[in-house]
Amino acid sequence: MNDKRSVVAMARVVIVFDFDKTIIDCDSDNWIVDELGVTQLFTQLLRTLPWNSLMDRMLMELHSQGKTIEDIAECLKKVPLNPRIISSIKSAHASGCDLRIVSDANAFFIETILKHHGLINCFSEINTNPSFIDREGRLRILQFHDLNSPPHGCNICPPNMCKGLIMEKIRASVSAEGNKRFIYLGDGTADFCASLKLEGGDFLMPRKDFPIWEKICTNQRLIKANIHEWSNGEDLETTLLKLLNSFFLEEEKSSVRTDQLVEVDCKFLTSSIITHA
Ligand SMILES: [Mg+2]
Ligand SMILES: [Zn+2]
């Protein structure tokens, strides 16, 4: 499905991916902490700091140990990424879908990994915690939801980011382009918050036996979207491409109907002209 007509049809599909344990198989924060050897301090401080601030603190620790931005980037490039997930992202993008990321990791980690695998240009938007390199050359992580502004008020998500709010923003931003269908893929509790914003024609692809799965099992009535679970990269690819294929066939069917309507209209017109003549 890569002719012009299918690209136009598939542009109606917005695919929103979580990043950690969805696109990559691990958690990028844990990966850096473990691979660069600061797990002990991380575990010690986990009870005293919110996750997001703790990661910023861990990067300070790594900097003080002499680890550079390049060391962190090299370490991120080793994060395992299932080749089937790489190919499914590339096919979805090539078929014309609008791909986005909503993640509680941070911009530097996500961009470094996606660039390394040649995937960065497949995504039209990455919603995540901002990062920057300060004057000392230390990587800093900020909060997606500014803690100086009023709290987002969601009791499912951490204070620095509510994925449900981001989903609402995405839906509002694309609504001017006409009717869109969403596919959401994720594994975490915050992804459950995002999936509460899906509508009846949308699809939810939760990772089976991960926190989102438990939430869905106990709150299934709250989810309006069609649910298609997945467990690994192979599942993800098969399920996602099957969904895209069914969307495409649906679009084709409805465009055939439009053609027939036009034909009927023309005949009607012709016969009425003849009658008048
Ligand atoms: Mg995740
Ligand atoms: Zn939330």
Q: Which residues keep their CB under 5 angstroms from ion ligand 1?
A: 18, 20-21, 187-188
Annotated binding site for substrate: 29, 104
Q: Is the pLDDT confidence value at 217 over 70?
A: yes
Which residues are CB-neighbours of 268 under 8 A, at least 6 positions away? none
Residue range 264-273, pLDDT digits in tens: 333 333 333 3
How many CA atoms lie less than 13 Å away from 122 in the CB half-sphere?
Answer: 27
Domain range 4-251, its CATH number among 3.20.190.10, 3.20.20.70, 3.40.50.1000, 3.90.230.10: 3.40.50.1000
* Alpha carbons 268 and 264: distance in angstroms, whole number: 6
Give me the active site residues, please.
18, 20
- Position 258 scores a pLDDT of 52
Q: What is the DSSP letter of 230?
A: B
- Position 250 scores a pLDDT of 85
Structure tokens at 237: 């690819």
* Alpha carbons 221 and 198: distance in angstroms, whole number: 13
- Position 63 scores a pLDDT of 98
- Position 178 scores a pLDDT of 87
- Sheet strands (E) in the chain: 13-17, 98-106, 123-129, 131-133, 139-141, 181-186, 203-206, 226-227
* Alpha carbons 49 and 42: distance in angstroms, whole number: 10
Residue range 170-214, pLDDT digits in tens: 999 999 888 899 999 999 999 999 999 999 999 999 999 999 999
Ligand 2 centroid vs 154 CA: distance in angstroms?
A: 5
Domain ranges of the chain: 4-251
**Do the beta carbons of residue 183 and residue 243 sit within 8 Å?**
yes
How many CA atoms lie less than 13 Å away from 275 in the CB half-sphere?
Answer: 6
Question: 62: which strand partners?
Answer: none
Distance of CA 59 to the CA centre of its chain: 25
Q: Tokens 């080749």 appear where?
A: 83
Q: Which residues keep their CB under 5 angstroms from ion ligand 2?
A: 154, 156-157, 162, 164, 193
**Do the beta carbons of residue 167 and residue 16 sit within 8 Å?**
yes
CB atoms within 10 A of CB 249: 12
Q: Work out the percent of the chain whose per-residue pLDDT is above 70.
A: 89
Q: Work out the percent of the chain whose per-residue pLDDT is above 90.
A: 81
Q: Is the pLDDT confidence value at 141 over 70?
A: yes
